[in-house]
Chains A and B, each alone.
Chain A
Amino acid sequence: MPLKLERQENVPLAGLVAAPFVALAFTLVVGAAMFLAMGHDPVEAFRIYFIDPLGDAYTLQELVVKACPLLLIGVGLAFCYRANRWNIGAEGQYCAGALLGSWLALATHGTGAGPWVMPAMLVLGALGGAAYGLIPAFLRVRFGASEILTSLMLVYVAELFLDYLVRGPWRDPAGFNFPQSVTFDPVATMPLLLDEGRLHGGIVIALIVVVAATFVLGRTLIGFSIELGGSAPRAAAFAGFDERRVTYGVFAVSGALAGLAGIIEVAGPIGNMQPSISPGYGFTAIIAAMLGRLHPVGILVSSFVLALTYIGGEAAQISLRMPFDVTRVFQGTLLIAILAADVLVRYRIRRVEGVRHA
């Protein structure tokens, strides 16, 4: 074996910070190869994909709109992943939150209810997501079932249930048989921040969440117990932290934030209930969490990077007729590159010398 990995004892901070950028650069190289293979000029494609969206005010707003759910879900996932609990079902919790919140919007539809509706929807959205997130937590704690697989299976269940509702009981009777609910009343809609465009109040909530999560994870005993439980479970038990409580806690938080993202999206940019309310935010947020190194501020940055891949993907779909799957390829490559870059920063690949192989 001519190469070997050596753990570096002193990882320079610069290296830790540099790794995500190295990963981004690698992803762009792979992307260029992909564009070439598809017969596009990579420079032109990159301009449409990554540069143009940054140049106009409307798409900049869209960038924030797309980053908002990624940020909320990603911060929640950071709680889980720090505790070494692999919630990969955020997409389902997002749907569950959207469902419970929308229920209130539809129940109060046309009743002239006051401005309490939207805040109550947010609370319900968070509760719905948390409750749905607690299912895999319960199954793990009580029965030892892998939370990875159960949380993912529940995504399909939630999506099918949502599909059933908007095609059945929740369908707008005056909607020409389209599978969607009535448009939410203004009191059940996220307030817009600017006169033009779709920028809504969700980003303010997301930024508050970032600040709160930074504080909880970094300064409190709860944050410490999460970190310890993920890093050394036996030491956490020795320290007296209950593994079950940590598991419930992180799933509740990440479910709640995913649910919050769901109801904000439905009551904001979408405006009513539809069969499909997410272009895979729950999965992309996993990448956002990893790229942001499980730190809320890092996730703030990474959410925008990933939002750009969505916007760019839409632009490329229109002007280059590229399938939207290009975005998934970018996202998958990016996650692979981050994982590799992380290792390469922490370890050093070294040629093994000095021994002749007999």
Chain B
Amino acid sequence: MSGKAATSDSAASGALPPPLLEAIGLTKRFGALVANDHVSLAIRAGETHALLGENGAGKSTLVKMMCGLLQADSGELRFAGEPVVFPDPAASRARGIGVVFQHFALFDALTVVENVALGLAAPGKLPALAARIEDCVHRYGLEVEPYRRVGELSVGERQRVEIVRCLLGDPRVLILDEPTSVLTPDESESLFRTVDLLTAEGRAVLFISHKLDEVRRLCQRATVLRGGKFIAEVDPRRESSASLARLMVGAEVPRTPRVTTHELGEPRLLIKNLTLKGDGSRGSALHAINLEIRAGEIVGIAGVAGNGQTALFEALSGERLGEDAEAIVIDRTPAGALGPTARRALKAGFVPEERLGHAAAPDMRLSDNVLLTTHGDGRIVRQGIVRHSVLNAMFAEIVRRFDVRFGGKDPKARRLSGGNLQKFVIGREVLREPVLLVVDQPTWGVDAAAAGFIRTTLRQKAAEGCAVLVISQDLDELLEFTDRIAVMSEGRLTQPVPVEETSREAIGLAMGGAHGAPAQEDADAA
């Protein structure tokens, strides 16, 4: 890999061919918001180019303009030096631009080969297409079976279907939107090998990520966006993760201080042999989960999406009830048979992964959204009647203490940015003075400042004697601010291991599905 990187580097310093794909001064407005403000980017043949930026920096908007899903208000796109206009994705595809989206554009009810056919302008007969898929699979090491239904595939396999679909269109530029956020470290490695094969063939890859270590390893060039503006084009190999982060955020990135010495209190959450059957398409199964969390500690659950985290969260919140009332004990009370309201009455707080539609009703006002988890409070609802004055006072306090920012007096939840809505949702639980907090993906899609604030808040609650369970796909986050980490894979959970005694590698191995407690063993061996 280093050899190839060197050649592309020398090409870059010598006579430059025109960039394969170039965005010059693209601007895109949505109402009052300027999502992209004169943004420029140039990708050359044979290079892996990173697009860096926080959530909301305008990366997605830029990508959508480059592939014809959106049209720029002003500015210009050039392909191989020639101005182009993409009125729709088909036009960009015809030019040789392929995109693998973060949220896959796949159809669960259809087979792999049908999914691939839908992405090609002239797919031909399906059996012949299946043969071409097999061919591509072998060439680039992307394992997929053409006739399986996509709905049955794992996240990693689904991503490979997307990539195969792109490659069959023989793209000269391949855009990968946050490809590793859903992969295990192992799967990421194999993706990187595929990317290297592609650039070696003279294709260009645009790699969108906020994982700086990966970018520094894989990419020869990086464009940094912030607040919809072009900030810099740098060589990531010559930068440190810290300097890249500074460019992205525009300030020093705060690290959440970990309190390493503290007294642990009594167990607040006991999960004993929790088992749930899967119910078809949604909700995967859980197999004999055991976990104990004490007052004052933060336990993290790592794992790739779709391995049962949502089922575990819903089992804890009371949205999915199992058969055994004793399987979940909250603050000494068996809670396995209790619904969400009764569990909240035990002073448990829950923050789901999906903010819009699960944690909050998108089309209801924020003040009404306060009621979602506080209606059991006798001050707010008395004899079935909602006391709006008390509710509004609580709403005002959440907004003030958790620095929730929005336009207007009391907007609908859907109008808030990810970070502000997350601060609202977490504030709503924290103000209830919980003894147990279960948080799924605390900082997913949240800007760095808000993410830092949220982590600090959770840390502080733990210090005050709350037990905190954090489910996250972001391993770096878990390593940064939790005390113990367990790994979830295919509905099973490893025993949690103190953060100091484990490593990325050990956790990565467990995420790949090596059961038992390998994280522990590895740590012991090391």
Residues 234-251 (chain A) with a chain B CB within 8 angstroms: 234-240, 242
Contact digits for B340-358, partner A, Cβ 8 Å, 1 yes 0 no = 1110100000101010011
- B85 pairs with A239, CB closer than 8 A: no
CA distance A228 to B371 in the complex (A): 10
Given A220-B386, A355-B72, A234 and B87 touching (CB < 8 A)?
no
- B360 pairs with A221, CB closer than 8 A: no
B-side interface residues, number (CB < 8 Å): 41
Asked whether any CB of chain A lies closer than 8 Å to the CB of B373, the reply is yes
Asked whether any CB of chain B lies closer than 8 Å to the CB of A357, the reply is yes
Closest chain B CB from A230 CB (angstroms): 10
- B408 pairs with A10, CB closer than 8 A: yes
- A238 pairs with B358, CB closer than 8 A: yes
CA distance A224 to B369 in the complex (A): 10
Asked whether any CB of chain A lies closer than 8 Å to the CB of B362, the reply is yes
Q: How large is the interface on A (under 10, 10 to 19, 20 to 34, 35 or more residues)?
A: 20 to 34
Chain B residue with Cβ nearest A348? B31
Asked whether any CB of chain A lies closer than 8 Å to the CB of B71, the reply is yes
- B359 pairs with A238, CB closer than 8 A: yes
Closest chain B CB from A236 CB (angstroms): 8
Please tell me which one of the listed residues A220, A228, A240 contacts residue B344 in the complex, with CB atoms under 8 A apart: A240
Asked whether any CB of chain A lies closer than 8 Å to the CB of B318, the reply is yes
* Most-contacted residue by chain B among A9, A220, A231 (CB, 10 A): A9
Contact digits for A209-239, partner B, Cβ 8 Å, 1 yes 0 no = 0000000000111101001100110111111
Given A224-B375, A240-B318, A358-B85, A234 and B358 touching (CB < 8 A)?
yes
Given A9-B31, A221-B375, A240-B339, A232 and B363 touching (CB < 8 A)?
yes
Given A231-B364, A232-B362, A358-B91, A224 and B371 touching (CB < 8 A)?
yes
Asked whether any CB of chain A lies closer than 8 Å to the CB of B368, the reply is yes
- B85 pairs with A356, CB closer than 8 A: yes
Chain B residue with Cβ nearest A356? B85
CA distance A231 to B361 in the complex (A): 7
- A228 pairs with B372, CB closer than 8 A: yes
- B85 pairs with A227, CB closer than 8 A: no
Determine the chain A residues whose CB is within 8 A of the CB of B61 once the complex forms.
none
Given A227-B364, A232-B357, A239 and B373 touching (CB < 8 A)?
yes
CA distance A136 to B84 in the complex (A): 56
CA distance A219 to B386 in the complex (A): 6
Chain A residue with Cβ nearest B411? A9
Chain A residue with Cβ nearest B344? A240
Contact digits for A1-24, partner B, Cβ 8 Å, 1 yes 0 no = 000001001100000000000000
Chain A residue with Cβ nearest B369? A235
Closest chain A CB from B424 CB (angstroms): 13
Closest chain A CB from B35 CB (angstroms): 14
- B74 pairs with A239, CB closer than 8 A: no
CA distance A235 to B357 in the complex (A): 6
- B72 pairs with A354, CB closer than 8 A: yes
CA distance A303 to B210 in the complex (A): 57
- B317 pairs with A238, CB closer than 8 A: yes
Asked whether any CB of chain B lies closer than 8 Å to the CB of A352, the reply is yes
Asked whether any CB of chain A lies closer than 8 Å to the CB of B384, the reply is yes
Give the B-binding residues of A (Cβ under 8 A).
6, 9-10, 219-222, 224, 227-228, 231-232, 234-240, 242, 352, 354-358
3 nearest A-B residue pairs (beta carbon)? A240-B341, A240-B340, A232-B361
20 contacts between A and B (CB under 8 A): A220-B384, A221-B371, A221-B375, A221-B381, A232-B357, A232-B362, A234-B354, A234-B358, A235-B359, A235-B360, A238-B372, A239-B340, A239-B375, A240-B375, A240-B376, A354-B71, A355-B72, A355-B87, A358-B85, A358-B87
9 additional A-B pairs beyond A234-B354, A235-B359, A239-B372, beta carbons within 8 Å, are A6-B31, A221-B371, A221-B384, A221-B385, A238-B350, A238-B358, A238-B359, A239-B373, A355-B72
